[in-house]
Structure 1
Amino acid sequence: MSLSTLQPNEGSPLGEHYLRSEVDNVQWGWLPNAVSKPVFEMASGATITVDTVSHEGMMDDQGRDPQAWFAQFGVRPGEILADARAIADGVERRNGDGPHVVTGPIAVTGSRAGDILKVEVLHTALRTRYGVISSRHGLGALPGEFPETPPREDGADRFHAGRFHSCFTFVSVEQSGGQICGVLNRRGLNPVRFPLDPHMGIMSVASDTDEPVHSNPPGLHGGNVDVKLLGSGSTFYLPVQVDGALFATGDPHYSQGNGEVALTAFEAPLRTTFRLTTISAAAASGVLGALREPFGENSRHWIVIGLDRDLSGAMKAAVRSAIGFLETAQGMDRATAMAYLSAAADFEISQVVDGVQGVHCLIRKSDFRQQF
Structure 2
Amino acid sequence: VSDQTVHWGYLSRTLKPVISVRSGDVVTIETLTQHASDDRERMIDGDPGAESVFHWTATRKAVVRRGAGPMDASVFGRGAGEGFGVHICTGPVHVRGAEPGDVLEVRILDIRARPSCHPQHRGKLFGSNAAAWWGYQYHDLLTEPKKREVVTLYELQTDVAEPYAKAVYSFRWTPQTDPDGVRHETIDYPGVPVDPASVDKLYGVLAKARVPIRPHFGLLAVAPKESGLIDSVPPGYFGGNLDNWRAGKGARLFLPVSVEGALFSVGDPHASQGDGEVCGTAIECSLTGSFQLVLHKRAQIADGFLADLNHPFLDAEDAWVVQGFSFANHLAELGPQAQTQVYQKSSLDLAMRDAFRKARRYLMQAHGLDEDEALSLMSVAVDFGVTQVADGNWGVHAVIRKAIFPPQAEGEGSGTAPAPSSAPPQPLRNRKL
With the length of structure 2 as denominator, give the TM-score of the two structures.
0.71
Partner residue, 1:201: 218
Q: Match for residue 25 of structure 1?
A: 5
Q: After the TM superposition, which residues 1-372 of structure 1 pair with which residues of structure 2 at under 5 Å, given as runs?
A: 21-31=1-11, 33-58=12-37, 62=38, 69-71=39-41, 75=42, 81-89=47-55, 90-92=62-64, 93=66, 94=80, 95-128=82-115, 129-137=125-133, 139-145=134-140, 166-175=149-158, 178-184=161-167, 187=204, 190-284=207-301, 285-288=303-306, 290-308=308-326, 309-370=346-407
Q: Which moved more, 1:110-119 or 1:142-151?
A: 142-151
1:125 shift after superposition: 0.7
Q: AA paired with 1:173?
A: L
Select the structure of larger CA radius of gyration. Answer: 2
Q: Deviations over 1:43-99 (max 9, x none)?
A: 0111100000001133xxx5xxxxxx444xxx3976x53222211111113223322
Distance 1:253 1:277 in 2: 24
Give the letter for the 2:311 counterpart: E
What SS does structure 2 have at the residue aligned with 1:296?
strand
CA deviation vs aligned residue, 1:100-131 (integer Å, no higher than 9, x gap): 10000100000000100000000001113111
| Deviation digits for residues 259-297 of structure 1 (CA, Å, limit 9, x no counterpart) | 001100000011100011110113334253643211001
Cα–Cα, structure 1 residues 150 and 296, in superposed 2: closer, same or farther, change >3 Å? same
Could you list the per-position Cα deviations for residues 186-224 of structure 1 after superposition, in whole angstroms to 9, with x for gaps in the alignment? 748744112100000000000112211111000011000
Distance in 2 between the 1:174 and 1:255 partners?
12
**Alpha-carbon distance in structure 2 between the residues aligned to 1:290 and 1:210:** 22
Is the contact between residue 234 and residue 296 of structure 1 (CA under 8 Å) also seen in structure 2?
yes
Question: Separation in 2 of the partners of 1:147 and 1:168?
Answer: 18
User: Hey, what's the Cα distance between the residues in 1 that align with 2:34 and 2:353?
Assistant: 32
The whole-number CA distance in structure 2 between the counterparts of 1:179 and 1:46 is 31
User: Structure 1, residues 286-312: CA drift from partner, whole Å, max 9, x if none?
Assistant: 253643211001121111010112111
Identity %: 34
Letter in 1 for 2:378: L
Bigger share in strand: 1
1:149–1:166 Cα contact (<8 Å) kept: no
**Counterpart-to-counterpart distance in 1, 2:291 and 2:142:** 36
**Which amino acid is 2:49 matched to?**
D
Aligned to 2:199: none
Counterpart AA for 2:358: S
For structure 1, the 5+ residue unaligned runs are 1-20, 63-68, 153-164
- Name the structure 1 match of 2:72: none
Does the 8 A contact of 2:139 with 2:146 survive in 1? no
**Preserved contact between residue 222 and residue 263 of structure 2 (Cα < 8 Å):** yes
Aligned residues: 325
Do the aligned partners of residues 327 and 136 (structure 1) sit closer, same or farther apart at CA in structure 2, a change above 3 Å counting? same
CA RMSD across the alignment:
2.2
Contact residue 36 and residue 44 of structure 2 kept, 8 A: no
Q: 1:85 to 1:149 in 2, by over 3 A?
A: farther
Matched letter for residue 346 of structure 1 = D
**SS of 1:211 mapped into structure 2:** coil
Mapped contact 1:149–1:167 kept (Cα < 8 A): no
When normalised by structure 1's length, the TM-score is 0.82
Q: Which amino acid is the alignment partner of residue 296 of structure 1?
A: L
SS of the counterpart of 1:23?
coil
Deviation at 1:314, TM superposition (A): 0.6
Superposed displacement of residue 371, structure 1: 5.4
Q: Distance in 2 between matches of 1:136 and 1:189?
A: 18
What secondary structure is seen at the aligned counterpart in 1 of 2:304? helix
Q: Secondary structure at the match of 1:273?
A: strand
